[in-house]
Amino acid sequence: MPTLTLRQLVIAAAVCIITVWVPVRPAEAEDRLTRIVALGDSLTAGYGLPALAAFPVQLEHALRAKGYSVTVANAGVTGDTAAMGLARLNRSIPDNTDAVILELGANDMLRGYQPTLTRRSLVAILQNLQARRVDVLLCGVRTQPDRGDEYRNAFAAMFADLASEYNLLFYPAFDEAFVDDARLKLSDDLHPTAGGIEAVVTRILPKVEVLIDHARRKDH
């Protein structure tokens, strides 16, 4: 066996120390699964579309393509108002949920409800989720044919005020990506095609990434 020089012995000792004392990196918080629920109406549910084209599915696919460990559950129910979403809230949002994308209000607008009524139900939903320490991305909507700018603006202000009051991540209009483009809407002129949902996902994705970051930074 060859005799090691003093310099070689020092280097060998240093390597041993580094090998022994540098700990194995634990799994980082950002590597763990983040569970998101999309709570909404037909815009979330995927009305008129194949199941794989619905918003939650497309969103999860886009997030996983970017390297996120995430699930996005579809808790959209066609025809639901904000009050109906509130009534099923605890059934729709499991206890292990990290974050919610809240998209309700389009049917309230279509039925001509006053924004104060919709707000009351949304407040109850937000307070429930806050108490459960679930992060929220609040989505407004523009859908309101034939009711005029004043009505639309009142709803827009209601959504924005809620986001400010509850310090929420906010996406002002879920349907903004397709509502003015007939090529991205079904023949009913209300609901998006698969391409319309893809456009929504592209636009909302940065907000959802922030939502995930918030959920992962929080101690559960």
Domain that holds residue 55: 33-217
Q: Are residues 42 and 79 in contact, defined by beta-carbon separation less than 8 angstroms?
A: yes
Residue 203 has pLDDT above 90, yes or no: yes
Instruction: List beta partners, residue 135.
Output: 99
- Domain of residue 108, CATH code: 3.40.50.1110
- pLDDT-derived band at 144 (thresholds 50, 70, 90) equals confident
User: Does residue 70 sit within a domain?
Assistant: yes
Query: How confident is residue 21, by pLDDT bands cut at 50, 70 and 90?
Result: very low
- Residue 132 within a domain: yes
Q: Is residue 138 part of a domain?
A: yes
Position 219 confidence tier, pLDDT thresholds 50, 70, 90: low
- Report the b/e string of 75-99 with b at 16+ CB within 10 A: bbbeebbbbbbbeebeebbeeebbb
Question: Rg for the chain (alpha carbons), in Å?
Answer: 24
Residue type, 51: A
| Residue 10 resides in a domain | no
Q: How many domains does the chain have?
A: 1
Establish if 165 belongs to a structural domain.
yes
Tens-place pLDDT, residues 98-137: 999 999 999 999 999 999 999 999 999 999 999 999 999 9
Does residue 164 lie in a domain region? yes
Strands 169-171 and 34-40: unpaired
Cα separation of 172 and 128, whole Å? 22
Residue 153 inside a domain? The answer is yes
Instruction: Please state the pTM of the whole predicted model.
Output: 0.85
pLDDT digits (tens, 9 = 90+) for 154-176: 999 999 999 999 999 999 999 99
> Phi and psi for 92 in degrees, rounded to 5?
-85, -25
Q: Residue 9 domain-assigned?
A: no
Cβ-contact 63, 56 below 8 angstroms: no
